[in-house]
């Protein structure tokens, strides 16, 4: 499974764990590729021109084009639509992983998770910044998750653990179902 970064990996590992799956025991490897621009290189190594293993992946909406071009250049299709990409096992998060998780949980629940981590003061400071005043709490939470070192990866796991398993975001649900 090819994912853009560590936060995607942490979220999917947590979801698999919550669903009672052991990806290692199932022979499923998850590879954070260090950004969508690297997808072509990884598809050449693992795809039909390389090791020819069964592939799946997850990306943000802003990087969908990079994934599409990578899939096409490595012979996995042409003029691919999002539906075509999904048939190949590649799923797109609306906006990004954090957006998917925040929408699934709701801002109030995410704030409770932030508070439980002792980060509510830092989040409130961000909310007071002129650039973030007047924005929705969801937008502020996305920015907060994306700032500060390893915050994205840490919160990806925590937010998945807070999810009702009946409300798992579609791309996360489907990419795990694919593998």
Domain count, the chain: 2
pTM over 0.85: yes
**For range 26-30, the mean pLDDT:** 94
Distance CA 57, CA 98 (A): 17
Question: Tens of pLDDT along 50-70?
Answer: 999 999 999 999 999 999 999
**Could you tell me if 53 and 106 lie in one domain?**
no
Parent domain of 120: 98-150
Residue 161 domain-assigned (yes or no): no
Asked if the structure places residue 66 within a domain, the reply is yes
**Does a structural domain hold residue 48?**
yes
Same domain, 92 and 173: yes
Does residue 32 share a domain with residue 79?
A: yes
Residue 93 shares a structural domain with residue 109: no
Distances (CA, A) of 15 to 106, 159, 166: 18, 10, 12
Chain segment 112-160, per-residue pLDDT in tens: 999 999 999 999 999 999 999 999 999 999 999 988 668 999 999 999 9
Q: Is residue 157 part of a domain?
A: no
Question: Is the pLDDT reported for residue 34 higher than 80?
Answer: yes
Task: Specify if 162 maps to a domain.
Answer: no
């Amino acid at each position: 499974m090819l994912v853009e970064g560590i936060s995607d990996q942490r979220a999917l590992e947590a979801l698999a764990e919550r669903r009672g799956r052991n990806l290692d025991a199932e022979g499923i490897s998850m590879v954070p590729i260090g950004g969508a621009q690297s997808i072509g290189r990884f598809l050449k190594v693992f795809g039909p021109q390389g090791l020819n293993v069964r592939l799946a992946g997850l990306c943000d909406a802003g990087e969908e084009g990079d994934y599409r071009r990578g899939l096409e250049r490595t012979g996995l299709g042409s003029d691919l639509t999002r539906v075509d990409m999904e048939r190949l096992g590649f799923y797109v998060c609306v906006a990004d992983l954090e957006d998917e998780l925040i929408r699934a949980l709701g801002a109030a629940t995410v704030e409770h998770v932030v508070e439980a981590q002792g980060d509510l003061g830092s989040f409130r400071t961000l909310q007071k910044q002129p650039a973030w005043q007047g924005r929705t709490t969801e937008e502020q939470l996305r920015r907060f998750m994306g700032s500060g070192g390893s915050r994205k990866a840490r919160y990806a796991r925590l937010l998945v653990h807070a999810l009702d398993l009946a409300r798992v975001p579609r791309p996360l649900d489907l990419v795990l179902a694919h593998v």
